[in-house]
Amino acid sequence: MAEYSKIAKGHITVSGGVTPVYLPFRPTSVKWWNLTAYTTPTATYVAKGYWDVSMGEGAATYETVTTSTLALVPAFSATGGITTYAAGMMLQFGPQQQVIGATAANPIVFNVTAHGYVVGDTVMFQGLYQSSTTGMPQICRMPFVISAVGDADHFSVVWPGAGSNYTALSGSPAGAYVKKVLYPFLYAPGVCFIEAITTGTTTTVVTTAAHSFVVGQEVAFRVPNEWGTTQLNSLPNNLIPGSPMYGYVVSVTNATTFVVNINSTGYTAFTTNQTVAAIKAGLSFAQVLAVGDINTGGVQISAGSNLYPSPVVNGVSTINGPAIQGSFVNNTRQGFSFGSTVAGVASQVIYYEAVFADYSVN
């Protein structure tokens, strides 16, 4: 080790797919021990392993529990091992996968061969035309959190796909694809796409992906005419000309649902039953976004507060120092991921030690 080397250690419960570990650096070596494989020895479990940057991204040396004697057998793989990452200023995506079919229902169930996704992953769609005038391209270009995984070839996202303007997909339509958003929260809370709005003395909003809002958050709405509830829009404010109309989050139901203090009684109902023709004409989406002074819900930024030394987004610490005044937090992430070869069974507990060495000899 040299003077400026960095070391991080901890443990994580893997998802069974690609499981990221968030760190304030990209490691040059990683070693790990699978506590589950030692406490409950099971054939095919990877008990321990090692990766060095000189092996290449995705590689790993490891030891696997054998079927009969439960001995450890050494192995090497060039894929499915350890991969480092650093999220940049733009969204990055996983491989493009063909959509074989999809139900016209809520939730929409997609058929994608060996998709590799898990609940909580964020995905985006493109194409989704069954014909030139039918299908469900209305949901393309919006991020969706996966709400359920039926099996290796099926997953679901929540959206009212049973509307009269939506048509089920079948036969692997040309140009119909899905991609995973690798690092979906580069800024938090970001701009959210709206899936549903319930009007009343307060207003309940459901988003297609995690909103990251907190109680006290100040928000603004952008609802094009086609979506109905345009009275929520921040501009214009008919009561105070020149002053935008904002709302405040009064409760957070879950990662995709929150309530604002806007009395929307009598407002036009929100509708997702958009036409395919509207998409071709350049339909814009309904959105909600953070505004105002600070993304803390009024929490003081100081030693001991929730945002010191760095903000936490969706349960994960960011790599920032103390938050600055502003409605968004820079949530750029870096670290490494366990791949499916070395951590392919969900719920295994893995202890790791990751090192960034500022000096090495090949």
Residue 232 to residue 229: CA distance in whole angstroms: 6
Identify the helix (H) or strand (E) that includes residue 38: helix 35-39
Backbone angles phi, psi at 176, to 5 degrees: -90, 110
**Residue from 79, 21, 55 nearest 354 by CA:** 21
Q: Which helix (H) or strand (E) holds 35?
A: helix 35-39
CA separation for the pair 61, 259 (Å, rounded): 49
**What pLDDT shows up at residue 317?**
65
Q: Are 227 and 198 in contact (CB under 8 A)?
A: no
Measured between alpha carbons, how far apart are the two ends of the chain, in Å?
A: 14
Q: What angle do CA 216, 217, 219 make, to 5 degrees?
A: 135
How many CA atoms lie within 13 Å of 253's alpha carbon, on the beta-carbon side?
A: 10
The answer, yes or no, to whether the previous bond of 20 is cis (omega within 30 of 0) is no
Q: What is the pTM of this model?
A: 0.75
State the CB neighbour count (10 A cutoff) for residue 71.
Answer: 11
Residues in CB range of 37: below 8 A, 6 or more apart: 45, 46, 47, 48, 65, 348
pLDDT on residue 132 = 92
Q: What is the pLDDT along the chain (362 residues), one digit of tens a residue?
A: 456 788 999 999 998 778 889 888 889 999 999 999 999 888 889 999 999 998 998 999 999 988 767 788 999 999 889 999 887 667 788 889 999 999 999 999 999 999 989 888 999 999 999 999 999 999 999 999 999 999 999 999 999 999 999 999 999 999 999 999 987 877 777 789 999 999 999 999 999 999 888 888 889 999 999 999 999 998 776 677 667 888 999 999 999 999 999 999 999 999 999 999 999 888 999 999 988 655 444 445 555 555 555 666 666 666 555 554 456 676 777 889 999 899 888 899 999 999 998 866 55
